[in-house]
Structure 1
Amino acid sequence: MLDLAQLRSFVMVAQTGSFTLSAERLNLGQSTVSQHLQRLERSLGRRLLDRDTHAVRLTSDGEALLPNARQLLALERQTVARFDAQAPRGPFRLGISEDLVSGQLPGLLEDFIADHPSVDLQLSVALSKTLADMQDRGELDLVMAKRRIGEQRGDAILREPLVWLASDPDAILTKPTLPLIVFPPPSLTRVLLMEALERSGVSWRIVCSCQSLSGLTAAARAGMGVLVQPRSLAPSGLREIAPPSLPALEDVEFVLVTARSADHATVSAFSRKVRERFGKGFALNARP
């Protein structure tokens, strides 16, 4: 019979790629997590992980077990939630910054809804300032977005550097006027990159503006110009242009902002999921 505690350790190690991080997030000792994995491998008679001094990777048997392990753990959580009178339920109005719609977000939402099937998710995707305005009007319970360093709104979960990106940096840097691919106002990223260019005296022009990150990414991959994104959200197919080729950019912080009227149980449950996925040192676009 499979042990759920052992499966939880297995899934967390698969997600983080680290026994140390897994132990921290499960609030267990690292030796306990290691014992869970060893016992699980013995009970199944299969090696589930390849371990070396640099990384932990799933074997083919580990890859085969992972979706079933997640389903079993989700079923356990759903069963507990169904009989918990205090479990989150009802509408949950969530706002997500356009920067965050790729990467870990699908898995985050999948885990949250699997754990809390009585929650009715109402998702809004927009620029951070737009989401803040929506929340101020009482339209959102929780916003997951970014802010400028030094601002106080929200509870910071991760600090990230902004970087310049292009499909062919050498070709871009030879142009007499820097071609920019940007979000429209009121984008914070747009504000910060414009300030950096003004301080450095770099000549620029906007060649593409789009509300959608997927649209901006397509333009950058087509070689139209430079795109600015948090480093851990850099789309594939683009290369970073480091200073002094282009001016240094400020860091940004990703934050959770809770409305006063929001249901505490629902917001707390989602916030815990976010911190599990986006803990310190954990890349936003990493795949489990």
Structure 2
Amino acid sequence: MAEPPLNTLDLEALRSFVVVARLGTLAAAAQQRHRTVSALSMQIKRLEASLDTRLLVRSARGMTPTMSGEVLLGEARELLRQHDGMVARMTGRGLSGRVRFGMPEDYATRIVGRLLPDFTARHPEVVLEAVTATSGDLVKQLEKGDLSLIVALDRPHSLAGGTPLWQTMPVWASARELAVAADKPLPLALHPLNCPYRHLGVEALEAVGRAWHAVFTSTSIHVLEAAVESGLAISILERSRLTPTMRELGGTDGLPPLSSCQAQLHYGRHVSAASWPAVEALGEMLTQHLTWRS
């Protein structure tokens, strides 16, 4: 007796499902996958029909996986990693080497969530080492040869020859109910000295002769945000990071305007020949996708 045929999953449909689940919209996934929205939607529908289950639903956060979708997501990522690694090994066309990548913590969630999983899936033989630090520290590590490439803001240490990615929008941020006293030093929550936003804030305050003092200093953006939300201090944050419990301060609160920064991609000068193709591949992916305006 012949065995009943097994359902065969389309690997490209699985890739599309993984990207939609990660980015949250069909439009964004279609752009990354170089397909139309309708073509991507049909792939997902065929995948759901093949598995006889709903994989994605619309929610306030966009397209999110169902319970079945969450199960498939983990297994699909592993399957695609194994498949791509096998193809790379058999064809000899896979990239290898070591990539040491640095980025500011403020933007790490976007970069890690959007790009680094894709990079490791496409190039499983590449050893990726990613770190977060202030832009000033990243520049120093790049110049020392400790990093292969970085995404960094152009303040306070500017490097020549960087590839522009996006323009930042720093704002003064406080707790929504915090009253700013004009006759007292401004209480600030800041990153350490090599932070671009610390540099911008101090520069702006000193230009107008406004007294300030650092109530809280931390390398963690999440800790600084907690200090703001609790009313402990005022900080300089990316406008997109303001939460409902915060408010943006400005001239009516006696605070000077802040200059913006440009995020740039920089390559190291001490990358080995064996690792350079992999470093360049990550750089191209970052340049292609990190073009938002904050």
Please tell me the TM-score bracket, short chain as reference.
Answer: 0.7 to 0.9
SS of 2:219's partner is coil
Q: Which residue of 2 aligns with 1:203?
A: 211
> 1:280 matched to which residue of 2?
292
1:213 aligned residue (193, 202, 221): 221
Deviation at 1:148, TM superposition (A): 4.7
State the superposition RMSD in angstroms: 3.3
Partner of 2:246: 239
Equivalent pairs: percent with the same residue? 31
CA contact (8 A) 1:178 1:205 kept: yes
Distance in 1, Cα, partners of 2:106 & 2:287: 17
1:251 aligns with 2:263: no
Question: Does the CA contact (< 8 Å) of 2:191 and 2:217 recur in 1?
Answer: yes
Give the distance between the partners of 1:143 and 1:23, measured in 2 at CA.
27
Partner Cα separation in structure 1 for residue 172 and residue 135 of structure 2: 20
Q: Counterpart of 1:251 in 2: which secondary structure?
A: coil
Figure out how many residues of one structure are paired with residues of the other and give that number: 280
Correspondence list, 1:7-86, <5 A: 7-51=14-58, 55-86=62-93
- What SS does structure 2 have at the residue aligned with 1:117? coil
Q: Matched residues in 1 for 2:70 and 2:130: separation? A: 31
Over residues 211-256 of structure 1, what are the superposed CA-to-partner deviations in whole Å (9 max), with x where a residue is unaligned?
A: 3435434544443201222234x27685232433343323323222
Match of residue 160 from structure 1 = 168
Note the alpha carbon deviations across 1:12-50, whole angstroms, 9 max, x for none.
222222222211111112221121122112212222233
Report SS of the residue matched to 1:170.
coil
Would you say 1:267 and 2:276 are equivalent positions? Answer: no
Q: CA deviation at 1:79?
A: 1.9
Which amino acid in the other structure matches residue 249 of structure 1? Answer: L
Partners of 1:31 and 1:127 in 2: how far apart? 41
Give the letter for the 1:157 counterpart.
Answer: L
Distance 1:16 1:276 in 2: 15
> Structure 1-normalised TM-score?
0.80
- What corresponds to 1:130 in structure 2? 137
- Structure 1 gaps of 5+ residues are 284-288
Q: In the superposition, relative to structure 1, how do residues 70 and 238 fare at CA in structure 2: closer, same or farther (>3 Å)? A: farther
Using structure 2 for the length normalisation, give the TM-score: 0.79
Q: Is the 8 A contact 1:172 1:179 kept in 2?
A: no
Once structures 1 and 2 are overlaid, which stretch shifts more, 92-101 or 30-39?
92-101
Structure 2 distance, partners of 1:146, 1:37, is: 38
2:233 maps to which of 213, 225, 232 = 225
Question: Residue 165 of structure 1 contacts residue 238 of structure 1 at CA under 8 Å; is this kept in 2?
Answer: no
